[in-house]
Amino acid sequence: MLLKKTGFPTDEELVLCTVTGITPHSVFCTLDEYGGRTGMIHISEIAPGRIKNIREYVQEGKKVVCKVLQTNKEKGHIDLSLRRVNEMQKRNKLNQIKQEQLAEKIIEYSAKQQGDSVLTVYNKLAEKLVPKYGTIFAAFEQVAHDQLDLETLADKKIAKTLTDAIKQRIKPPIVKIDGTMKLTSYTPAGIEDIKEALSEAVKKGIDVRYLGAGAYHFEVQAGDYKEAEKKLKEAVDAVVELAEKHDVQAEWARTETA
């Protein structure tokens, strides 16, 4: 990993560690993101309950996600916990690491294409992007969304190579939400009135599919939930307004999410 944080981690921070040593009552690790600083996990922080053999839980060379309990900067001590990290926290941390590794590979590829030093390009980008976006990957996601122009931060040639690589490797997330619209009319022009009402949803980018018995499936895709919810609401409101105008009964139900 090119990512190297300076100083000490903060209390409660989740860190990726490599197990380097095991004793009967403790485990020693290096903190991968902090230049190899050493931390210790006491046996009581390995797992809940009585532990007969630490090696049933960890082995030398194994990567583990730990929570920082406390640090002593004067002595250089970092106390860690393995048992206080739940599965969701572990998955999120490992996913974050994978994302940063992808960002590093993009930088490595782009730097080599331009004949530049990988570390130099990485450090220059990290200096400008990490303080604002938290991680380089998060900044690259903005590039993928056309919300960040790297030419304002780096040489034009390397910026273009980076941008092309980012858009090939990092795809903007797609959010889907849906529901069912039921339209009923008893007037002679009912079918045409319903078609006209449904056309309002189509105009607003909603995918409309007939389910049968007067029911229609509405689905919208967007870059985030806020945008998707807005588009769906505007479409539903437009359909209901036109339906009521033509004495068409409209019933809307959002799909329940688990």
pLDDT in tens, 56-90: 999 999 999 999 999 999 999 999 999 999 999 99
Contacts of 106 (CB under 8 A, 6+ apart): 140, 162, 165, 166, 169, 170
The pLDDT value given to residue 171: 81
Residue 182 clears pLDDT 90, i.e. is over it:
yes
Average pLDDT value for residue range 11-27: 95
Residue 83: is it exposed, middle or buried by C-beta count within 10 angstroms (0-12/13-18/19+)? middle
196-236: per-residue pLDDT in tens? 999 999 999 999 999 999 999 999 998 788 889 999 999 99
Fold of 88-169: DNA polymerase; domain 1 (1.10.150)
Q: Where does CATH 1.10.150.190 sit in the chain? A: 88-169
First to last CA, the chain: 36
Q: Which residue spans of the chain are classified as CATH 3.30.70.1130?
A: 175-254
User: Which CATH class for the 175-254 domain?
Assistant: alpha beta
pLDDT over threshold 70, residue 1: no
pLDDT level of residue 5 (50, 70, 90 thresholds): confident
Residue written as token pair 């900067």: 73
Whether the pLDDT of residue 257 is over 70: the answer is no
Confidence of residue 173 (pLDDT cuts 50, 70, 90): confident
- Parts of the chain belonging to CATH 2.40.50.140: 14-84
13's tokens: 């921070």
Task: Judge whether residue 258 has pLDDT over 60.
Answer: no
Distance in angstroms (rounded) separating the CA atoms of residues 82 and 98: 20
Among 159, 247, 253, residue whose Cα is nearest residue 197: 247
Q: What percent of the chain has pLDDT over 90?
A: 77
pTM of the entire predicted model = 0.64
C-alpha to C-alpha distance for 251 and 237, rounded to whole angstroms: 11
- Residue 41: partners with Cβ closer than 8 Å, 6 or more residues away: 26, 27, 28, 29, 58, 66, 79, 80, 81, 82
CA atoms of 162 and 210, how far apart (whole Å):
44
Query: Mean pLDDT for the chain?
Result: 92
Per-residue pLDDT of 87-132, as tens digits, reads: 999 999 999 999 999 999 999 999 999 999 999 999 999 999 988 9
User: Sorting pLDDT into bands at 50, 70 and 90, what band is 174?
Assistant: confident
State the pLDDT at residue 12: 95
Which fold does the domain 14-84 belong to in CATH? OB fold (Dihydrolipoamide Acetyltransferase, E2P) (2.40.50)
- pLDDT for the residue 255: 86
Residues 121-143 have pLDDT tens digits of 999 999 999 889 888 999 999 99
